[in-house]
Structure 1
Amino acid sequence: MMSLKELCAYETPSVAEMQNFLLADRRPTGHVNQVWPNVYIGNEVAARDKSMLYNMRITHIVNAASGPPHVNTGARFYRDMDIDYYGVEADDSTDFIISVFFYPTARFIRAALSKNGRVFVHCLMGVSRSATLVLAFLMIYEDLTLMEAIKAVRQHRDICPNPGFLNQLRHLDMSLVRERKKKLEAYKL
């Protein structure tokens, strides 16, 4: 966690700055990658590969592209497996409001990890919707700034949330940084 001095000096990056960072030094990404201890991001191919999910010991799935016409798996698709399923019906469009799912999804991931679960978060390609929700989780529960979260995930998977999602993550980042500053200032008093 950042010190009060570091927090005061921190500025949430612009969408353009984040896009430049995300688009630089891109590398091919597989169907699924572990991006944080027991947190995985992947695509539809991985989401439909039950034997791979079983072998990875996945216990919880977040489908960030739930329902038709997206990745129509759902709890029924996994009924023959011991998996807790959470569906988010999100469109990968710049005007879609994904921020309403930040806290509920982060709580689902946190609860899974608190039970020593393994969480697979996916969408169609595993680069925008799923990455956005994992970044929000890291910011909300792991106390990372937006750039720290992006850098942590980017070490393991090539991600690129759309500009609308990046902007919503910016607002979350600014809100969380304000809260952390208040807490640290109150603690110092």
Structure 2
Amino acid sequence: MNTVVNQMAFTEEQLREMIQGPGDEWTYEMRRQCQEILPGLYLGPLQASKSLDTLRNLGITHIVCIRDAKEAFSVRPRFEDHFRYMVLDVEDNEEQNLIRLFPGAKQFIDNAILHGGRVLVHCNGGISLSPAFVVMYVMQYHKLSWEDALHMVQNRRYCISPNGGFLTQIKEYESIYKASLALQSFPTQQRAVVNRRKRSDDDDEETERPEDRKRANVDEDDDDAMQS
């Protein structure tokens, strides 16, 4: 079951300002740091996950560690006594299916934020792999187009650049999450229509008109006369 995080309602103007980003000056050194993308959700490289003091100062409680299998020796949980980890072993290439892995990561992040936690999502460089997950999360969180979600993340961590395969999947995920939202709302609407129809049918049965009863009696008398 997917956990739903309570979201604040934003006007279109507020969302547009959020997409445009905070306007902070970007420096090369910031590539080695993590940035807050949404309240409680941070994105960064491996280096941001290696400083216990930094993680504590940011209030991090959960870490999503995304790595290529060949990087497992260096890209790994380091402070399992202090934080709750989710490790995703993937291949950092254009053929890797991220959409299949995303629901589990989303639920992990949702659960953390729902209970007041703060999450760091990182891969080795924080350039392609982990940003792809965060863009999909932001897209669904704010119900944005893939372009707006990408801009929102990129305007907070300027150095991100998902590879072509990941970018294609980000585009595909927009249709997937929108179809899921439509499916979630459809059964409720359908049940309401069915219930209204049922109540209408019940009312029709209970309000049988006197002439209908008389007609039924006449038909019965005619049947009896024919049989005599």
Structures share a fold, TM > 0.5?
A: yes
C-alpha contact 1:59 1:119 (8 A) present in aligned 2: yes
1:178 deviates by 3.4
**Counterpart AA for 2:51:** D
2:75 aligns with one of 66, 72, 75: 72
1:90 deviates by 1.7
What is the alpha-carbon distance in structure 1 between the residues aligned to residue 137 and residue 39 of structure 2? Answer: 13
1:55 deviates by 1.2
What is the alpha-carbon distance in structure 1 between the residues aligned to residue 171 and residue 156 of structure 2? Answer: 22
State the SS of the aligned residue for 1:65.
Answer: strand
Within a 5 Å distance, the mapping from 1:1-189 to structure 2 comes to 28=28, 29-30=30-31, 31-65=33-67, 68-70=70-72, 71-74=74-77, 77-81=78-82, 83-158=83-158, 159-180=160-181
Structure (1 or 2) with the larger CA radius of gyration? 2
1:27 deviates by 6.7
Which structure is richer in relative contact order (CA contacts within 8 A, separation 6 or more)? 1
1:48 deviates by 1.1
Q: CA RMSD in A?
A: 2.6
C-alpha contact 2:68 2:91 (8 A) present in aligned 1: no
Q: Per residue, is there more helix in 1 or in 2?
A: 2
What is the alpha-carbon distance in structure 1 between the residues aligned to residue 68 and residue 111 of structure 2? Answer: 20
1:180 deviates by 4.1
State the SS of the aligned residue for 1:73.
Answer: coil
**Counterpart AA for 1:78:** F
Name the count of aligned residue pairs: 162
Moved more, 135-144 or 108-117: 135-144
What is the alpha-carbon distance in structure 1 between the residues aligned to residue 91 and residue 41 of structure 2? Answer: 22
What is the alpha-carbon distance in structure 2 between the residues aligned to residue 103 and residue 140 of structure 1? Answer: 11
C-alpha contact 2:46 2:75 (8 A) present in aligned 1: no
C-alpha contact 1:42 1:120 (8 A) present in aligned 2: yes
Q: Compute the TM-score of the two structures, normalised by the length of structure 1.
A: 0.75
Q: Which runs of 5+ in 2 are unaligned?
A: 1-25, 194-228
**Counterpart AA for 1:72:** V
1:92 deviates by 1.6
Percent of paired sites with the same residue? 26
C-alpha contact 1:110 1:141 (8 A) present in aligned 2: no
C-alpha contact 1:66 1:87 (8 A) present in aligned 2: no
